[in-house]
Each structure stands twice: as structure tokens, then as C-alpha cells.
Amino acid sequence: MLREKLEEVRQRDDLIDELESELDDKDSLIQRLQSELDKCRSILVAANLRPYHGVHFRERTKRNAISAEPGGCRRPLDKLRINRIPKSQM
């Protein structure tokens, strides 16, 4: 009976050691990822604070377009006449 209990304790100790090892690995991964995240954040903050090579953005004003075609040359589509030529006449 004592041997069985000792074996159970040994197995639990082994499991605890294994789980602690996994926990240490995950802690180091979390620290590495946190460090990378901090680097990325610092780069983004620096990029947002840096001016764009002296270019200042301002709100664009809306402008009206001017057509290059004179208004008198447009015909309504209902008055447009299309000459149909059958292929047999070609």
C-alpha cells in the first residue's frame, strides 16, 4: 500500500514537473511576443508622429468639371439614325 502511494506521488511530481516546464516555455513565448508587440507599437507611433517629408495634407476643395465637347453637337438618342446594311450586300 505504501509503495502504491509513493508511486502515485512520484507520478504526480513528474506531471507537475512537466506542466511547470510547459508553463515556463509559454511564459518565455509570451515575453518574446510582448517584446515584438512593443517594437511594432513603437514603430507605428513613430510613423504617425513623423511628418510626411514636409507635405501638409489639407482638405481638398470640390471643383466642377468642364466638358471639352461643345453643347450644340449633342443629339438626342431618339433622333439618332442608324443605317443597317445586311451582310448579303457586303
Chain segment 53-70, per-residue pLDDT in tens:
555 556 667 777 666 666
pLDDT of residue 36: 93
Long-range contacts of 65-69 (CB under 8 A, 24+ apart): none
Q: What span, in angstroms and rounded, lies between the C-alpha atoms of 52 and 16?
A: 55
Chain segment 5-49, per-residue pLDDT in tens:
999 999 999 999 999 999 999 999 999 999 999 988 888 877 776
Helix residue ranges per DSSP H, 1-90: 2-49
Backbone angles phi, psi at 55, to 5 degrees: -85, 130
**Beta-bridge partner residues of 52:** 55
Q: What is the DSSP letter of 1?
A: -
Average pLDDT score over residue span 48-52: 64
pTM value surpassing 0.85:
no
